Each structure stands twice: as C-alpha cells, then as structure tokens.
A and B are shown apart, each in its own frame.
Chain A
Amino acid sequence: MRDLLAARSQMAMSLAFHIIFAVVGIGMPLLMVVAEWQWRRRGDRVFLELAQRWAKGTAILFAVGAVSGTVLSFELGLLWPGFMTQAGAIIGMPFSLEGFAFFTEAIFLGIYFYGWDRISPRAHLAAGVVVAVSGALSGIFVVIANAWMNAPTGFDLVNGRPVNVDPIAAMLNPAAFPETLHMTLAAYAATSFAVAGIHALRLLREPGNGFHRRALRVALWAGAPAALLLPLSGDLNARHVAQWQSVKLAAMEGQFKTERGAPLRIGGWPDEMAGETRYALGIPRGLSLLAFHDPSAEVRGLEAFPRENWPPVAPVHLGFQIMVGLGSFMALVAAWALALMARGRDLVGHRWLLRALVAAAPMGFICVEAGWVVTEVGRQPWVIQGVLRTADAVTPMPGLVVPFVTFTLLYCVLGVIVAWLLYQQVLRSPTSAGAAMPASTRYGEVG
C-alpha cells in the first residue's frame, strides 16, 4: 500500500469511527435533557429511568469519542504536517474555540453523570442543558474548519505561501453556514432515529411497554423535525457546491458532459474511463433546476476540468446517492410520524410506521458516513481546495500502513465492545430490579 493511500485510509477510518461518537455526543444530550425535564415536570419516574439510561449510554460513547477525537487532533500533524504548516495559523481559531466548547461539555457531563444526588434538581437539569449546547457548539466549530478546506478564504497566496492571514474571514467562509447547519441537523436526526428505531423494535414485541412508548415519543419529537429540515439544508449545500466546487458537484451527479438543462441522475454507475454514467434513471432538467434553481442552467461536467483535478467519481456519486436516498426515506417517515403525533394518535397502533422506524434506525448514521465521503473524497485531490494537494501535505514517514492497520484493529475491537455494553446496559427492557436500583448505586460508585 502506498504511503499516501495508507495515510488517507487512516484519516478516513479515524474520522468515520469518531464521527459516530461525535454525532451521538451532540444528539444524546438533547434526548437526555428532554427526558429529565419531562420527569421533573410530570413526576413520572419512567422518564427518570429513561434519562439515566440515556446518560449511561452517553457516558460510554462520550469517553470513546473523547479519546478518538484526541487521536484525530494529533493525526492532523502525524499524517498531514504539510497541511498544518500552511493551515494552522488560518484555521486554528475554530479548533481553539472547539477546545473550550469541548472542555465545557466534558466538565458538565462529569457533573451530569456523577451528580444526580450531589446537586439540586434544577442545577442538574441546567448541567444537562450546558452539555447539549456545548456539544452542538463543538461540532459546529470543527465543521467550520472543514468548511474552510472546501472554500478557503481569509488569506492571500503569494509564492505558494499564505500571507495576509485573517482567521475571522477564514471562519466566515462561504461553506461554513450550509455545512454546519446540515451537520448539526444530521446529528439530531441520526441519533434520534437510531434511538426511535430501537424502541420501535421493542414496541413491535411489547406494545404495552410504557418505557418504550415514552422513549419513542421523546426521540421522535427531537429527531423528526431535523429529518424534515435536512433536505432543505442539503439543497443549500448542493447549491453552494455547484457554485464553489463545480467539479465536486459533477462527481456527485456523475455529470461528465457540460450541458444546459442537465438531468438529475438517480442511481447509475459512473465509468471514468468511458466518461459516462450508465444505468441511471434521469429526470430531465432536474440537476439544473436543483443546483441553480433554473431548469435550463448550464452545469459544468467533469470534462471541463483537467483530469488530474478529478476526485474519484464512483465513490462520490455512490455516497451522494446513498445519502439522498436514505435521507429522503427518513424525511418521509418523519413526516408520517409527526402527522400522527400532531393529531394525538397512538403511534404504537401503526405497526407499519414502527417497522419503517426500525428500518430507518441505522440510516441516519449511514447518511452521515456517506455524506462525509461526498465532502472529503469529493474534495480530492486537494486537501485545501485549489490551494494544497493532499499528496503534498502527507508526512514523509514511511511504512504508514502499520499505524493504519493498528488503529483499524483497535477501533474494531472498541466498536464491538461498545456495541455489546450498550446492549447490556441501555437497550434491554428495564426489569423491576433494575428500576429499583437507587441512583447512587448506579452512578455514584464505580467498578
């Protein structure tokens, strides 16, 4: 394996692993806080059980997210020292702000997990709110840094070196708003749909279980609106990409030829050699309409760009198709569930809705992974769009396949253990013994 490919694979694998925990770190605190708030408001102890279980799940996932995020911050330099030399002074600002947001999240998570009987109810709920807000903020800051890689602003390039550096202008890059909005909504939708799906599965077997009923409602109220909004924020992103990264848009759509009134392709397999996308279902003028809101707008195809500036077309197109396809399904299910809930219907009677929710459970996370493939692979061969090539940023360290394989194995093992622990600790139906366990036994002591 070539070192550049190994470095890219290690970065991709580290991001793909960490993003799951990062998304959960944004989404779960919201669910946890809503459940605790419901308990305080209604005095319904089932909501307390729910909040504590979700907190426990968050504790496990947050710890793994914290350490895998640390690995990423080092990997920026371990794998891409050329990138950090150029970019550090320009986009270090959002990373520094993220540092503080993450600090706040870690501090108040500690207070939340271990503080059930140490602080007042009001302070405890407030700690949960701080966790939810700072978790969302840390995600936003990191995505701003990524957005800058897609739309680099805030410096002038003189003789290949950045001068006149303006970190504020870099943070306000044009990709920042669409990307952060889309990712934050995605975090709420992915987490909530995963939770909703798990409880829907339980309700198919035990329709009368009040624990799962309440869990499903909280998850849907938190996640369904986000799932409905995601196609809109996605549209914002697509139009931004069309304007700023037209080669990425061409790869996303499998658009090889430059044409007016370009069709929207559904499915299909882009063949880079032949220069065409086969087996796709084309909606006439659809792409021009969506990307530029004009059915006869000209869409630049891959042929308009030098071959060495093409991203790998097939994974980008496939990733985009998966994200849009599964995301659309989630939006439909969300609309269905919200329509029923708004009319005060009992969701558990609608067994097909429950089945659809079970099917949708993993989709949010698949969409997140696919979306990051589109963003990151679609930016290749650049690490900073149009400024620095990935190949010029990689470390001179040889044998990079070794750390790649090592971290892959490490993360596989951790993933299996986390899944098993979540099943043991969070997902099983509560038993009467479990419900009677006081909070101090559950959270106050360790091991």
Chain B
Amino acid sequence: MIIKILGSGCKNCINLKENTEKALKETGIDAEIIKVENMKDIASYGVMRTPALVIDEKVVSYGKVLKPGDIAGLLEKYK
C-alpha cells in the first residue's frame, strides 16, 4: 500500500503524517508514506484544500487533519 500526504509543508501536513504513522502502527498495516509538497502535483489530484490523504492513488480525505482512529478506519476500508 502506498500512502501519500499532500500538502505544502505546513504544520497540518506534518500532523497528518504523524497521525498516519500512528494509525499504521495501530492497525499493523505495512505501507509506504510519501509526502507530496509540489503544488503542481498536489493540484493534479484535484485537491483544493490541504492536507489531503491519498491511499493507492485515491483521494480519501482533504482539508482536514484526520485523527489516527479515523485514518485506521480508512486504511481498513481501502486495504
């Protein structure tokens, strides 16, 4: 599984990345986290609000910092 965090490096993006790491640990799912910071690349996902969470190239959340529990739910859903 490849998880991408879209965001221009703001504080919220860092928080989302940390929460994602926690969620991965909780669920025991093995995934690679990639940070996407280039505006052009972010926009190519159709996202207008960051941070956004992309699981296997599908945008699953945008415009908010999800809590680890919510991310775990999404990870299970798109596994």
Indicate whether A and B interact.
no
Q: Which residues of B contact A (CB under 8 A)?
A: none
Q: Which residues of A contact B (CB under 8 A)?
A: none
